[in-house]
Structure 1
Amino acid sequence: MEDWSKGFFEVMENAVSDAEHFFNDVSDEFAEMLDVLAKISEEFTEQVQNNLIAEVDGYFNEFDGYFNEFIEPIIDICLEFDPQFDEIDLSLVTYVEPSPTQQAACQGCRNYHGQVYGGNLLVCAMHPTGVESESCQDWEADSDVNF
Structure 2
Amino acid sequence: MEDWSKDFFEVMENAASEVEHFFSDISEEFVEMLDVLAKISEEFTEQVQNNLIPEVDGYLQEFDGYFNEFLEPIIEICRDFDPEFDEIDLSMVTYVDPSPTQQPACRGCSNYHGQVYGGNLLVCAMHPTGVESDASCPDWEADSDLNF
Residue of structure 1 equivalent to 2:78: 78
Residue 99 of structure 1 aligns to a residue in which SS?
coil
Which TM-score applies when normalising by structure 1?
0.87
CA-to-partner distance for each residue in 1:59-116, whole Å, 9 max, x for gaps?
2222222221111101111222233323344234322221222111111111111122
Gap regions ≥5 residues in structure 2: none
| Alignment-mate amino acid for residue 84 of structure 2 | Q
Aligned partners of 1:80, 1:101: CA distance in 2, in Å?
Answer: 12
Residue of structure 1 equivalent to 2:143: 142
CA contact under 8 A between 1:68 and 1:93: conserved in structure 2? Answer: no
CA contact under 8 A between 1:121 and 1:129: conserved in structure 2? Answer: yes
Aligned partners of 1:50, 1:121: CA distance in 2, in Å?
Answer: 33
| RMSD, aligned CA | 1.8
Residue 146 of structure 1 aligns to a residue in which SS?
coil
Alpha-carbon distance change, 87 to 127 in structure 1, aligned in 2, over 3 angstroms: same
Residue of structure 2 equivalent to 1:2: 2
Residue 116 of structure 2 aligns to a residue in which SS?
strand
Aligned partners of 2:68, 2:43: CA distance in 1, in Å?
Answer: 37
Which TM-score applies when normalising by structure 2?
0.87
- In the TM superposition, what is the alpha-carbon distance from 1:15 to its structure 2 partner? 1.7
Aligned residues: 147
CA-to-partner distance for each residue in 1:17-70, whole Å, 9 max, x for gaps?
121111111111112211221221232233223332332222222222222111
Does residue 12 in structure 1 map to residue 35 in structure 2?
no
Gap regions ≥5 residues in structure 1: none
115-124 or 16-25, larger mean C-alpha shift: 115-124
| Identity percentage of aligned residues | 84
Alpha-carbon distance change, 54 to 69 in structure 1, aligned in 2, over 3 angstroms: same
- In the TM superposition, what is the alpha-carbon distance from 1:2 to its structure 2 partner? 1.3
Aligned partners of 2:2, 2:110: CA distance in 1, in Å?
Answer: 93
